Structure formats: C-alpha cells, structure tokens
Structure 1
Amino acid sequence: MSRLRVVIADDHPVVRTGMRALLSRDESFEIVGESSTVPETVRVVAEEQPSVLVLDLTMAGRSSLPSIPDLLAASPGTRILILTMQEDPAFARAALRIGAAGYLLKEAAAEELLGAARQVAQGGTYLQPAMGARLAVSDAGAPGADGDASLTARELQVLSLLALGHTNQEVARRLFVSVRTVETHRARVRDKLGTETRAELIAAARERGLLG
C-alpha cells in the first residue's frame, strides 16, 4: 500500500516537531515537507503534491484561509486539514466553504488527528464533533447564515484580500485575473452582503473568519 504523503504547515517549530513525531509513528504516513509561512506553504505544496496538508489557520500573523484556493490550484489532489486553536465556528464554516476538507482543534487527541488525516486523504470530510455542535448552534441562531452561503470560494477570497487593504489592482495581480474580474466579484459581494465601505468589508471578513 502506498503511503500518504503529508506536508505540515505551522509557524511553531515545537508544534511541527510534535506532529511529525506523531504522524511518523503510523507507517501509512510519510512526511514530505514542512513550512512556517503562507508563501512557503504554497511553494512546498506545489513541489511535493502531498496527499494531505495539515495547515495552521494563522502563520506569522497572517491568515491561511485566503490561500486555500491557491493551495488547491497548486496541487489539486491535496486534501487540506486545518489544525488550529481557533474555536469560533465562523472559522470552521469559512474554511470548509473555501475548500478545506477538515477542521480539527489542536486540543484533539493524537488518535483523532491520525483518523482525521486518513479520512480526508480518502476523500472524506472531517469536522471535530465538538466543533460540529458549535457550528450547528451558530447556524441555527445566525440570521445572516443563509446569505453567507451564497458567497463562492473566489468571492470569499476577494473579500478577504479587500478587507486586508489591497486595491482592486493588487487583488487582480495576486489572483492572476483582470481588474474587471475583481470588480465583478466585488460587486457581487457588495450585493450579497450589503457592504459598501472598507469598514463594512473588514467587518464582513472578520465575521467569516477570514482575517485570522
């Protein structure tokens, strides 16, 4: 049986060492790379084409969420498992919607991490049960949840970049699209969420866990 190739992305060396030791105990996993920043993670994933990327939600003060479409574009066969300390269900909702296959808190037991990595590698989705319960409660009580579901992965990415202060031209360069395309996505986000000002964009992005 071929081993599952894994890349570990976390900006804390101790955490990476611990995950490497844990995953290496299981012969079904092979650690093929590590990274500590978002740009480095994109590069390593593109080079290694891993089965699974274990991705911290925030690295070096930067949210990893907006990079998920880029990571999937760089390695379409890679399944992304978020491993984080962020307990807010908005982060889990945003991560899964934008392309992650799993969401797990760092407080999880070792066996749960191994099981989650296997499950996403096999094409499944994994959401930590405790987080799933919080997400269900949040969805039931959030009046804006239905409208949020209408945002596409690309629209979420554009929203996060705009909220971080990038201009339409800068967003276009980062996403390798035309300025007109960015303007179209921005107009759709504005219509769906009712955002007009930069402050409203930032608030909308923060509510969806896009700013780390």
Structure 2
Amino acid sequence: MRDEIIRILIVDDHPVVREGLRGLLSFKPGFEVIGEAEDGDEAVQQAAALKPDVIVMDLEMPRQNGLEAARAILADAPNARILLLTSFARDQRIFTCLDSGVLGCLLKDSAPQELFRAIRDVHRGQLALHPAIARRVLQRRQMTQSEENPQGLTEREIEVLRLIARGLSNQEIADELVISLPTVRTHVNHILSKLSLENRSQAILYALRHDIASLDDLCP
C-alpha cells in the first residue's frame, strides 16, 4: 500500500524561499505542494480554499504575521496542522503560537531531514519543535513551577494526558488503555475543562511544564 500523500501549503513573503521550499518538498516522496501564499492574509484565504494537510508558514510576514494568520486559520479550522518557521529561537511569539494551537516550530536553518520529520509529526498531530525552541519550552516550564499542580486530575486522566503528550490519537489511547473510545473522549474533555485548556497542543505543553511528560515522550 502506498504511503499517504501529505498536501502542503507554503507561506512566505520571499519568493526565493517559497521556490526553495517547493523544490525541496516536491521531490520528496510522500509530499505534495498544493499551493503558495505570500503573506498572512493570502494564507488564511488559501487555507480555507485548499484545505491542506499541513501549512508550512513563516512567522515574520507583512499584513498578517504567522501568529495572526495561524490564529485566524485555527479559528476557522481548529484541527488545522501548522508548522511555523522562524529565524529566532528567542522570539517570544513562539510561546503564544504554541498556546494558540500551532503544533510545530522550526528554525529556518534546520536541515532538510528535520523539516521532513517535523511535517510528518505535525501531520500526525504531534508537537514538533527545533531543539533550541524545545529547550526554551522546558526553561519556561521551570519558571512556572509555582503554577497550580494538576491536583484536579484523576490518576486515569493524568495517564491519558501523558499519552496525549506522546501524540497518540483517541483511538490509540483507547487501545493502549483497553478502554472504549467514548470513555477516552470523556477523559480528554475533562482534562481540557479542568485545566482550562482549549486544545491538545496546549495539553501537551501543560504536560511538559508540570513534568507529566518529557521531551523523550514527544519522540517515541
């Protein structure tokens, strides 16, 4: 059986960057570039029209930047898979992007294989971070240790949260814990409600910050 083709929308305000990404991805088996956008406004329009599997988008762009465009896209399609590219690991907007539901963030100097892997991970609903950015996430977690502990979660909900952090789908969690799919959905809803979170990517970040999961869990 042939592997699933991942349909990709490229968003960057520099034509040479878009051309480079298209050339890189078009010749990689399993990837198909279905469209391009040159700014955040066009990205929102193209995402709605083309419904790509993964959006690879620059963080710094005119009109709407990557954060603003990501928020608009996720407001219309909460399950959209977005991988942001940035030149600066210390850009504070990265945290806001991840909290908003963006699943991946890479530095622009990442190797092609890192980009390919990140696209696949994001497509599967997993968090994909450049190591330098991942370190900042952990540092931020250490600075927020005074935040409330997940005392409202049951032992089973903590177990489910840990599996969410590993990138497992609801069905995979059900199989892992030998429970029904509706039960998993109930646990996930309770976790998000109790922790005042909006989506699974926020749950993954919460698990990292509170030592419920580690970076090793993100790359099983």
Fold match by TM threshold 0.5: yes
Query: Is residue 41–residue 63 contact of structure 2 (8 Å, CA) maintained in 1?
Result: no
- % identical equivalent positions: 36
Q: CA deviation at 1:62?
A: 4.2
1:12 to partner: Cα distance: 0.6
After the TM superposition, list the runs of 4 or more consecutive aligned residues in structure 1 that deviate by more than 4 angstroms. Answer: none
TM-score by length of 2: 0.61
**Mapped partners of 2:79, 2:26: distance in 1:** 21
Secondary structure of the equivalent of 1:59? coil
Give the C-alpha shift of residue 94 in structure 1: 1.1
The answer to whether structure 1 residue 84 and structure 2 residue 86 are counterparts is yes
Alpha-carbon RMSD across the aligned residues, in angstroms, is: 2.2
1:7 to 6, 9, 13: 9
Under a length normalisation based on structure 1, what TM-score does the superposition of the two structures give?
A: 0.63
Q: Does 1:37 pair with 2:56?
A: no
Gaps of 5+ in 1: 148-212
- Residue type matched to 1:44 in 2? Q
Q: Which structure is richer in relative contact order (CA contacts within 8 A, separation 6 or more)?
A: 1
Task: Give matches, 1:73-112, under 5 Å.
Answer: 73-88=75-90, 90-112=92-114
Contact 2:89 2:132 in 1 (8 A): no
State the 1:72 CA deviation: 1.9
Q: 1:43–1:61: structure 2 CA closer, same or farther, 3 Å change rule?
A: closer
Give the total of aligned pairs: 146
**Cα deviation per residue 1:14-61 (whole Å; 9 max; x = unaligned)?**
111111111112121110110011110000000000000001111126
Secondary structure of the 2:132 match is: helix
Could you tell me how far apart the structure 2 residues matched to 1:6 and 1:122 are? 14
In 1, distance between residues paired with 2:85 and 2:52? 16
Residue 70 of structure 1 deviates from its aligned partner by 1.7
- CA gap of 1:32–1:92, structure 2 versus 1, over 3 A, is same
Equivalent residue number for residue 114 of structure 1: 116
